[in-house]
Structures are given as structure tokens and as C-alpha cells.
């Protein structure tokens, strides 16, 4: 009977997920006590002052005490310990915790394995602290050196921390409005009732309230951005204060949210507590709070503090925010920029840069819940070839397993998994299978037996293995907080343990928020227990991150450290970028979901997660052909490019919508493959610097105010601007082209002056896309079945000349799969066009062992003003012919009458120094 009831409940839940998001299933701020308390505090409520300031072990340390001690021992606030550290590249770290020498009930959780180990090497050991009395203060403030242009200030009374320029202008401050609050852990006494209830669930809260909140202000700020994951505008809207109608903070709490609403501050699958500010001066700053507990963040509207009586500088160009978390410690980082790329680099120096993907992973991925069997897989694969559509990866969802038991195959539907994978691999293609964190509670299932015997599951509040519902039914969840358990999990991906897997099989981690169908808010109870007695409330937002980490490390172990892993994750946290790709979850086949995918991906890239994408066509629903075509045209420029759909939707492979729509989707996918050398070069830039592949316009044009809130257009690298089409039936698009230099239409080479808005044609064939004058883009124009079959193909260089007839660009090449690039085995070239000469120079280490016999087949010069007849190639000392003709994009020829200059077959190798002079 219990089994029947469970099955009926599961069927009911599954049916609900196919309908719509149910808002009442999730808590609002008013239903979240710590959030409601923090929001109710008035400015100036904080009574703490900083005392006993000194330099200890290279840090500024102090104690935080109430200015007037409470006489009641029961309510006495114990001193908090403050530590301020300074690092190279203008980074300040502020930590505040309870004093462990005073024996609190337990140690508050500090998030491990997020800050990269090399960050500690950048610490500047403070030698001295100076004092300064800020106007009106009764006590002096402590000032320490940050860099030649910046200082950090700890104000003693009232307590405040800020970073300023040497001129005195503030950049970022904490507790300027006196909203800091730190609820200390308590020991439960007889009669204490700290339980919290939501719907049918009860949270025991054994340590009582332990939340932290504080205000953060950004100066010289026009907009703030970041703190994903939300389906909303790129520039964050005010959530509280004058003129705000629907007052709900931006929530950071990883949840399984199906068919999520667009234009909502509601939290989705991931949480990155990193906010970036940008203003009219062109300056950028950032603030990051390393904390894995639930967080709520208010962006406060102008005038919210009108009655506070607190006077702050730069009030007209200041944005105030309120940060609230259920648990954890204060572990915050101030990034002072001042340039946009400086801030993302500073954040990357703390949490790491993006992993360098294998080349195949940057191509097109075909997925569905579910491809039914091996015959279905073979047919889909052959249809791509029949219709001349390249792709690199075919995916299998949960139905490929034996009864939702991961690391298994349904023997009736997939009897020969290795042979199936090898057939794909013969064409240079890979397969991805899904592995989720919920493990079916079946005593005959080898993985469950081993995890149970070894004690590897998360426990419930009573100490028993946690038992929740997910796709397999009754399930338990691997405790990924433990490094030893993560190592054990990684070993499950060996060829011996994952029977039927081959070197061309990679992994997809879904449902890793974690999703628990019968749990509070469809996730794990907050009082569940992890290794070391850590409550789930303290680690929740990082659970999926550790799962992603363990899976990625497992694939590295499987390949004996030679093969770069590919793992897609739905849940995200700071550091996720080091372990693979992510996607934006269960979107819907609606035009608004296509539109909101751009601000979502821009936000993810800005906060470190550059290898990201949205399901092409929408996961739920059946897209009309026009929407699907437009989605492919935009998606071809996503860093992660995958089509995916729910099992209740109609099949939607690109050849199922008539010959014309097949042609349009094929052209969009061909565009991606043509640009793969450029994308791969950008992924390397992200791997080295942290600068994202897809960028907001203002990252390249930081002083152009027209770009600050533009989230329908985006930059791919520094050279391409793409404007999507997000409205049904439209054949035009309004496009703003920033900057003072010209832009060249990618489709036909037509020139447009920068700094203007244009009404552009947007026919069904393509969306507006432009190359920036002064840049050089590498391409490969021959169409193949997959990226690996393009290895030996020649390159095309598209040189877009600026007003001084100059341009430059780069090309990065490695073996596309191994870690040898870390040992210098790569090709990195810089191309410069100046004074009529295109020069190729080496940027890779002199000891680099990689070579390539690939040739430059074409050099296209956009905007060349003279009428040359030929080109001289050195050191070959030979001439190459020049032709004037229509612009080619891969195999497509522009229909426009615009003619461009093309140097044909110069015969130079991509890995060598050479010059090509236009005569």
C-alpha cells in the first residue's frame, strides 16, 4: 500500500511540474523570519563599535562590542572578532565571526574549497596601521594601505568599513547605514522553542537564530548587476523603497524551479553572492560574500533612507543594498576595479578562472528527455548527416538507466552502450549521460549498498540516512561536503565501475540543488546533517557545487589526468566555473524566455560562470517554428549551445519543421562552427584571465551610458556584437552600435558608424550581428560533421579595419582535449594589420611543443580604402592574388551588393611568423 501511495504521489508531482510554477510552494521574505527581521531594522540600529585594533599576522584585527553593554547576562552580546586582509590587485577581505575562545555552542560554518589556494600567496602582510579622525567622529578610524591609489578604512565609532581612493572618494562601504546585525549561536535551554514551520514542514533549528545582515553601498554607481540566478533584467531593479510596487528581495537559495517566471527576483538553481557596480565615470567595483546559506538581497531605491538622519557622500551617485543570510560568517571581498575587466579578474583571482573546455564541448549539443533506445540514437545521428547539420554531442536523460539507477543501462533499450558510443566516436562525436545526486534506496542496487555501508549519505536531524523522494522514488543523497566521500564518488566513473562507459562518454549533473520532491520548498530540510555536524542550512547553496566538483574530478581520474572533463551542472556556486558548464534550467518555449536568456547569461558571465547556455527552443512547451529558428540564431552565440526538450513535448530536431526552417536552423548551426576558432580563443582568454566569452556592451565601452541597461544585445569577445530578435513576426530590430569606430555587418560587410541606433533589417535568414572595426576574427569555413573533423581545415582571417586602417586579433590552438596546454603545448598567435601589412607574431612560450600544418586560406579585409592588385607574402617571397567580391560567411555568400577585398591562398602556416603586404 505504501508503495502504491508513493507512486501516486510521484505521478501527481510529475504532473504538476508539467503545468506551471506554483508560487505558494516557496517562501517569501515575509514567510522567512530572518529576512523579515532584517528588513524591519531601521538605519542606525547597529550599536557596535570597533575596539582593540592591532596588526596581527599581517592582518588588521579588532573586536566588535556594543557601545553600551546590556546588563542582562542572558542577552549579553559577546564580542565578535574582525579581521581585515589586503591582497595584490586591489582586493580587501573582511571576516567577522564569533570569538571561538568564548566557547560558542559550535563553530559557525566557513565554506571550504572555494577560494583557490594560490590566492593566499597574494596576501600583502600589513606592517602598520595609521589613524585618522573622520569629521564628526568621537574616536579615530584605522587606515591601511591597499595599493598606490587606494586605502581601506575601519571606522571605530560608529562601526563601518570602506575602501576609498587616496583622494578620499569612497568606492565600496559596509555598514554605512548601521544595519549590521549578527545573531549569535545559543545553547538550547529547557522550554526554548526555536522551531520554524512552513506548510507541512518543521525546521528544528537546534541553535536558534543565527542570521547575519548588513548594508553595502556602491559609490559613483549608475547600476548594479550580478547575484545570479534570476530570470530578470541584467541591471538589477530596486526591490525596496519609494516607487517599488512589489517588494521582494533577490533570493539566493538553490531550488528546483520548473517553468520559472521571467522578470522575477525569485531564486532559481544557483547562487553567486557577487554584485558588480558600474557608473557614468566608467569605473567599476564589486562586492562578494562567501556564504553557502540562504541569502536575500535588497537593492534599495533612491530615498529609502530619507528619514535616517545619516549623511553620506556622493548620495546622488550611490546605490545602497541590504544583504541578509540565514547562517554562516561574514567573509566578504571588496573589489575596487577600477575597470570592468579588472573587477572580473579580481573575482577570478579569488574563486578561480573557467576551466578550459575540450573543443568538442564548444560545438552544438543535441539533447532530449529522452532518446528512446539505441535505434533512436542511431537515427537521430544519421539524420544530422543526411541534412548536412554538424553536431558534436548526443545526450541521454534518465530513461536510459535501469529503473533510475545511475551508472546503469536499461538492458532492453540500450543493450550495447559501448558499441553505440564507439559509432558516434567514429564520426568525432561524443555522448553525455545523466548522473544525479539522489540514489535509489534499493538493497539490490550496488551503489546504494556501498554508500549505506560506508556511511556516505547525508543524515536527517535524528542521525539516520536522509530519505527523500526524487525520480527513482525513495532516495538518499551523497554527502558531498566530505573530501573523502567526493573522492569515493569520483571513483564511480572508472571504466570498471561505470560498466558500459567509454572514453567518449561525459556527464550531466541535474537536480543537484538538491531537488527533493517531498522536501520543504522541493529541497532538503535545513536541519539535515552533513559530515562534522554541519547543518544543511549552512551548506545548502554549495551542495551542487561539491557534487559538480566530485564528478569533474572523477572524470579526470578516469582519464588518468590526461583528458579534460566535461560535466554540465544545473546548480551553481562561486567556483563552479572551475569544473564545467551550466545551463539556465527548465525554461519554456516562449518569446519572453528567449529574451530573458540574454540577461541571465550576461549575469552568469559577469560573475565567473562563462560556459553557460539556455535550452534552445525552451524545455517546456512546443515552440512554433519561427521561435525555434530565432532561438537557434541567438543560441549559436551562447557559450554553451544545446537543444533540449521535455518528454511531453513534440520532437523538435532541426529537420522536422519543413525544408525552409531546416535550412535556417542549419545556417545558424553552421555560423557557430564557422566561428569555433574565435570561440575557442575566447574560452582560453576566460581560462587565463576570468574575462567572460559573452559580455555586456559596457564591459567594452565602459563610458557609454547607452550601454549600461542594454540587455538585448551582447558582445562575443571584444569583436562581435549580436542583437537578438525576441518578438514574433518582426523583420526589423533596433540596434545600438556603441563607440566612435565603425561596425561591419557580419552578413554582408556593410559599414555603420558607431554611437548611433539603427533600425536594421532582421529577415528570417539571420539576426543582426556586427564585427567591430579594429579587430581580427579567425574562422574555419569548411563544413564538416563535427568539430574534430575540422582539425586540419584551413583558416580564414576577417580583418575589420578602423579609421586608421588598423586592426588586431588573436588565435589560440591546442590539441583540443588534454591538459598539455598547461605545459606550454599550444599555439597562440597575434595578428596585427598596420600600414598595409598583416603580421603574424608568436605569443606562446618559446618551449611550446605544438605545431600545425594548417594554412591561412583567405584573408578578408573589411573597410580597405585603396584598390590593390596583389599581396606580397614574406618570408615566402611570393605574391598572392586579390579579388573583390561578396562577403562569404562559411559556405554562405552575401546577397548584398557590398564587395570586399579578399586575399586568396596566401599559403602561410598558422603556427609561423609571416607578413602579408597589400600592394
The residues carrying an active-site annotation are 510, 513, 586
Measured in residues, the chain has a length of 919
Give the DSSP letter string of 611-638.
SEE--BT-SBS---HHHHHHHHHHHTTS
- How many Cα neighbours within 13 Å face the side chain of 184? 21
Work out the end-to-end distance of the chain between its first and last CA atoms, rounded to an integer number of angstroms: 86
Which grid coordinates belong to 675? Answer: 566561428
3-state secondary structure of 553: helix
The rounded radius of gyration (Å) of the Cα atoms in the chain is 28
**Per 3-state DSSP, what percentage of the chain is helix, strand, and coil (rounded to 5)?**
20, 30, 50
Environment class of residue 830 by beta-carbon count within 10 Å: exposed (0-12), middle (13-18) or buried (19+)?
middle
Report how far Cα 145 is from the mean position of its chain's Cα atoms.
32
- How many Cα neighbours within 13 Å face the side chain of 336? 25
Respond yes or no on whether the N-terminal peptide bond of residue 370 is cis (omega within 30° of 0).
Answer: yes
User: Are 580 and 571 in contact, with CB atoms under 8 Å apart?
Assistant: no
Which grid coordinates belong to 659? Answer: 525544408
**Those residues with Cβ within 8 angstroms of residue 212's Cβ, 6 or more apart along the chain or in another chain:** 181, 182, 183, 291, 324, 325, 327, 328, 329, 330
In this structure, the dihedral spanned by the alpha carbons of residues 707, 712, 715 and 716, taken in order and rounded to 10 degrees, is 170
CA atoms of 265 and 905, how far apart (whole Å): 54
217-256 in b/e form (b: 16+ CB < 10 A) is bbbbbbbbbbbbbbbbbbbbebbbbeebeebbbbbbbbbb
**Those residues with Cβ within 8 angstroms of residue 453's Cβ, 6 or more apart along the chain or in another chain:** none
Nearest to 53 by CA among 83, 92, 78: 83
Nearest to 113 by CA among 466, 487, 478: 487
Nearest to 419 by CA among 500, 503, 506: 500
Instruction: Calculate the alpha carbon distances from 183 to 46, 61, 101, 247, 735 in Å.
Output: 12, 21, 18, 24, 50
CA atoms of 395 and 406, how far apart (whole Å): 15
**Those residues with Cβ within 8 angstroms of residue 5's Cβ, 6 or more apart along the chain or in another chain:** none
CA atoms of 635 and 616, how far apart (whole Å): 7
CA atoms of 109 and 374, how far apart (whole Å): 47
DSSP 339: S
3-state secondary structure of 239: coil
**Those residues with Cβ within 8 angstroms of residue 295's Cβ, 6 or more apart along the chain or in another chain:** 251, 252, 253, 271, 273, 289, 323, 324, 325, 326, 541
Pairing of strands 581-583, 612-613: parallel
> Which residue shows C-alpha cell 553567486?
272
Which grid coordinates belong to 844? Answer: 606562446
Which grid coordinates belong to 10? Answer: 510521484
Amino acid at each position: 500500500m505504501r508503495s502504491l501511495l508513493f507512486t501516486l504521489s510521484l505521478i501527481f508531482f510529475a504532473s504538476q511540474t508539467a503545468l506551471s510554477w506554483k508560487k505558494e510552494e516557496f517562501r517569501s521574505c515575509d514567510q522567512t523570519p530572518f529576512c523579515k527581521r532584517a528588513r524591519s531594522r531601521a538605519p542606525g540600529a547597529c550599536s557596535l563599535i570597533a575596539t582593540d585594533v592591532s596588526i596581527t599576522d599581517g592582518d588588521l584585527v579588532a573586536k566588535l562590542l556594543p557601545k553600551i553593554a546590556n546588563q542582562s547576562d542572558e542577552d549579553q552580546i559577546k564580542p565578535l572578532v574582525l579581521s581585515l586582509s589586503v591582497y595584490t590587485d586591489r582586493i580587501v577581505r573582511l571576516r567577522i565571526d564569533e570569538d571561538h575562545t568564548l566557547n560558542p555552542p559550535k563553530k559557525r560554518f566557513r565554506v571550504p574549497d572555494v577560494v583557490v589556494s594560490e590566492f593566499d600567496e597574494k596576501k600583502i602582510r600589513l606592517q602598520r596601521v595609521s589613524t585618522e579622525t573622520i569629521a564628526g567622529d568621537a574616536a579615530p578610524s584605522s587606515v591601511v594601505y591597499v595599493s598606490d591609489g587606494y586605502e581601506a578604512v575601519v571606522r571605530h565609532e560608529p562601526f563601518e568599513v570602506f575602501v576609498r581612493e587616496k583622494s578620499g572618494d569612497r568606492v565600496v562601504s559596509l555598514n554605512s547605514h548601521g544595519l549590521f546585525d549578527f545573531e549569535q549561536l545559543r545553547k538550547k535551554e529547557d522550554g526554548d522553542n526555536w522551531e520554524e514551520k512552513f506548510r507541512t514542514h518543521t525546521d528544528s533549528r537546534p541553535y536558534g537564530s543565527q542570521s547575519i545582515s548588513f548594508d553595502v553601498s556602491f559609490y559613483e554607481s549608475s547600476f548594479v548587476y550580478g547575484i545570479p540566478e534570476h530570470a530578470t533584467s541584467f541591471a538589477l531593479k530596486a526591490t525596496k523603497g519609494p516607487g517599488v510596487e512589489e517588494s521582494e528581495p533577490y533570493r539566493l537559495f538553490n531550488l528546483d524551479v520548473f517553468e520559472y517566471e521571467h522578470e522575477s527576483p525569485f531564486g532559481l538553481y544557483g547562487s553567486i553572492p557577487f554584485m558588480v557596480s558600474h557608473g557614468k565615470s566608467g569605473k567599476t567595483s564589486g562586492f562578494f560574500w562567501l556564504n553557502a546559506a540562504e541569502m536575500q538581497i535588497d537593492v534599495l531605491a533612491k530615498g529609502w533612507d530619507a528619514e535616517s538622519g545619516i549623511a553620506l557622500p556622493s548620495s546622488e551617485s550611490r546605490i545602497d543594498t541590504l544583504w541578509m543570510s540565514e547562517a554562516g560568517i561574514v567573509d566578504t571581498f571588496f573589489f575596487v576595479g577600477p575597470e570592468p575587466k579588472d573587477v572580473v579578474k579580481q573575482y577570478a583571482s579569488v574563486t578561480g578562472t573557467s576551466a578550459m573546455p575540450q573543443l568538442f564541448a564548444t560545438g552544438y549539443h543535441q539533447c532530449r528527455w529522452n532518446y528512446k533506445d539505441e535505434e533512436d540514437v542511431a537515427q537521430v545521428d544519421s539524420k544530422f548527416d543526411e541534412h548536412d547539420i554538424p553536431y558534436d554531442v548526443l545526450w541521454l536523460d534518465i530513461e536510459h538507466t535501469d529503473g533510475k539507477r545511475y551508472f546503469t543501462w536499461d538492458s532492453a533499450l540500450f543493450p550495447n552502450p559501448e558499441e553505440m558510443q564507439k559509432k558516434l566516436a567514429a564520426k568525432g562525436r561524443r555522448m553525455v549521460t545523466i548522473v544525479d545526486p539522489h540514489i535509489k534506496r534499493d538493497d539490490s542496487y550496488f551503489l546504494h549498498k556501498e554508500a549505506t555501508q560506508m556511511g556516505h549519505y547525508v543524515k536527517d536531524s535524528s542521525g539516520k540516512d536522509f530519505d527523500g523522494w526524487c525520480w527513482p522514488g525513495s532516495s538518499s543523497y551523497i554527502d558531498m561536503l566530505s573530501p573523502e566521500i567526493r573522492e569515493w564518488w569520483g571513483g564511480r566513473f572508472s571504466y570498471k565501475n561505470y560498466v558500459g562507459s567509454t572514453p567518449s562518454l561525459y556527464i550531466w549533473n541535474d537536480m543537484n540543488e538538491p531537488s527533493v520532491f517531498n522536501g520543504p520548498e522541493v529541497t532538503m530540510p535545513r536541519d539535515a546533517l552533513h559530515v562534522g555536524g554541519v547543518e544543511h542550512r549552512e551548506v545548502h547553496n554549495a551542495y551542487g557545487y561539491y557534487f559538480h566538483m566530485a564528478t569533474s574530478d572523477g572524470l579526470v581520474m578516469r582519464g588518468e589526468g590526461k583528458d579534460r572533463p566535461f560535466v554540465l551542472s544545473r546548480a551553481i556556486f562561486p567556483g563552479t566555473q572551475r569544473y564545467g558548464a551550466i545551463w539556465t534550467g527548465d525554461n519554456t518555449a516562449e518569446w519572453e524566455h528567449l529574451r530573458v536568456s540574454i540577461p541571465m547569461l550576461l549575469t552568469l558571465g559577469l560573475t565567473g560562470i562563462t560556459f553557460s547556455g539556455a535550452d534552445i527552443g525552451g524545455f517546456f512547451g512546443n515552440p512554433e517554428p519561427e521561435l525555434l529558428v530565432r532561438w537557434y540564431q541567438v543560441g549559436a552565440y551562447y557559450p554553451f549551445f544545446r537543444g533540449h526538450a521535455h518528454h511531453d513535448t513534440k520532437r523538435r530536431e532541426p529537420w522536422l519543421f519543413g525544408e525552409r526552417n531546416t535550412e535556417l536552423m542549419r545556417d545558424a548551426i553552421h555560423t557557430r562552427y564557422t566561428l569555433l576558432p574565435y570561440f575557442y580563443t575566447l574560452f582560453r582568454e576566460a581560462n587565463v584571465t576570468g574575462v567572460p566569452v559573452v559580455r555586456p556592451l559596457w564591459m567594452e565601452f565602459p563610458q557609454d551610458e547607452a550601454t549600461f541597461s542594454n540587455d538585448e544585445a551582447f558582445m562575443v569577445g571584444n569583436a562581435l556584437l549580436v542583437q537578438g530578435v525576441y518578438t514574433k513576426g518582426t523583420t526589423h530590430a533596433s540596434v545600438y552600435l556603441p563607440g566612435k569606430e565603425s561596425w561591419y555587418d557580419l552578413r554582408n560587410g556593410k559599414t555603420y558608424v558607431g554611437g548611433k541606433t539603427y533600425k536594421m533589417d532582421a529577415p528570417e535568414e539571420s539576426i543582426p550581428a556586427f564585427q567591430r572595426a579594429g579587430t581580427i576574427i579567425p574562422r574555419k569555413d569548411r563544413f564538416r560533421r563535427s568539430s574534430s573533423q575540422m582539425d586540419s581545415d584551413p583558416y580564414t582571417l576577417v580583418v575589420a579595419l578602423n579609421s586608421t586602417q588598423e586592426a588586431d586579433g588573436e588565435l589560440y590552438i591546442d590539441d583540443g582535449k588534454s591538459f598539455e596546454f598547461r605545459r606550454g603545448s599550444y599555439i597562440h598567435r597575434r595578428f596585427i594589420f598596420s600600414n598595409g601589412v598583416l603580421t603574424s607574431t608568436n605569443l606562446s612560450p618559446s618551449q611550446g611543443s605544438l605545431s600545425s600544418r594548417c594554412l591561412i586560406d583567405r584573408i578578408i579585409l573589411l573597410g580597405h580604402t585603396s584598390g590593390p592588385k596583389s599581396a606580397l607574402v614574406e618570408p615566402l617571397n611570393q605574391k598572392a592574388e586579390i579579388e573583390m567580391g561578396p562577403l562569404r560567411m562559411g559556405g554562405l555568400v552575401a546577397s548584398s551588393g557590398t564587395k570586399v577585398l579578399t586575399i586568396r591562398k596566401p599559403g602561410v602556416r598558422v603556427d609561423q611568423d609571416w607578413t602579408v603586404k597589400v600592394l
